[in-house]
Amino acid sequence: MTEDTSARWRGWRAAAEEALYGPQGFYRRPEGPAGHFRTSVHASALFAGAVARLLCRVDEALDRPAALDFVDLAAGRGELTTGVLAALPAEVAARVRAYAVEIAGRPEGLDRRIEWLSEPPKGVTGLLFANEWLDNVPVDVAEVDSAGVPRLVLVREDGTERLGEPLSGPEAAWLARWWPQEPDEGLRAEIGLPRDTAWASAVAAVDRGLAVAVDYAHTRDTRPPFGTLTGFREGRETAPVPDGSCDITAHVALDACAQAGATAATAAGALPGARLLTQRAALRALGLTGARPPLTLASTDPAAYVRALAGAGEAAELTATGGLGDFGWLVQSVGIPDSLEN
């Protein structure tokens, strides 16, 4: 008799790991993430242009090395890497070693300058950029029971949940430090320990340069009382069901990740510096303001005015309050000054 795997009760971390990255997982599907949700990369080429300017600042801070690394972590189908290479000045592009890191196979027709990897390279000198990666690092979920005790939430393949054992060990310690809960029944939290570990590993891959994580985020004083676990399918938010049919995501405790990344940089012998800021602030520091072009341009050069107006609209979307502009940026410098500081 074969096991009915759909009836298994597992923590959300194990269930989502298989649903997203297993042999039939969501992220192995041919349409890629862009077929189901829209990131800043897909919203406008201006985003890749801003990342290219950041890479140029890192290049300057590194005194223009002979080989400058750009690592696109969670690369989708290579859209950001392709856009960054296209936006770089020729002299910089000639020295760039571009790496796209993704679990899915290399897309057909991808620029041959881009090396496709399943794991980040080691010894990075340059910029490691992780756009909407950490929110898809699977995590377990805790829920407070009727006695006020946080318990592990178990889930079946069809999305049905029940409570498991009380939290203990490192998971309980992480929750107590980073997401302390009142003893009120039904309160939920995502246990971000695997994301801390993943980010620390990414930072440890950087010898000198900058590591940046961009994601839906919250900090200790703004944790949502019922968590943020959700799903996306074909551009719409949906219930999270760990059967491979939808994306499964949860916002990121970026402050906890920042601490883990700083610790990793220190252990590697670098002098680390980490800070959190909004995407709005980060992109404005990189020259994207969303300001409308002057009306006088409409009379002197109508075509240029239309182009500038379209660009202003795209920049406004990338920096919008209540939208993409509220994303968190975790900027971790390793051995160089913070390249986002004006």
pLDDT at 120 over 80: yes
How buried is residue 180: exposed, middle or buried, by Cβ count under 10 Å (0-12/13-18/19+)? exposed
**202: pLDDT confidence band, cut at 50, 70 and 90?**
very high
pLDDT at 252 over 70: yes
**32: pLDDT confidence band, cut at 50, 70 and 90?**
low
User: Could you read off the pLDDT of 254-312 as tens digits, one per residue?
Assistant: 999 999 988 877 665 555 678 999 999 999 999 887 666 555 655 565 565 456 555 56
pLDDT of residue 268: 58
Q: What value does the mean pLDDT take over residues 72-85?
A: 95
Rank 2-6, 25-29, 108-112 by mean pLDDT and report only the highest: 108-112
User: Could you read off the pLDDT of 210-220 as tens digits, one per residue?
Assistant: 999 999 999 99
The CA distance from 97 to 113, in Å, is 8
pLDDT at 123 over 60: yes
User: Could you read off the pLDDT of 177-198 as tens digits, one per residue?
Assistant: 999 999 999 999 999 999 999 9
Provide CB contacts within 8 A for 118, sequence distance 6+: 101, 102, 103
Q: Which residues pair with 264 in a beta bridge?
A: none
CA atoms within 13 A on the CB side of 18: 14
Q: What value does the mean pLDDT take over residues 169-173?
A: 97
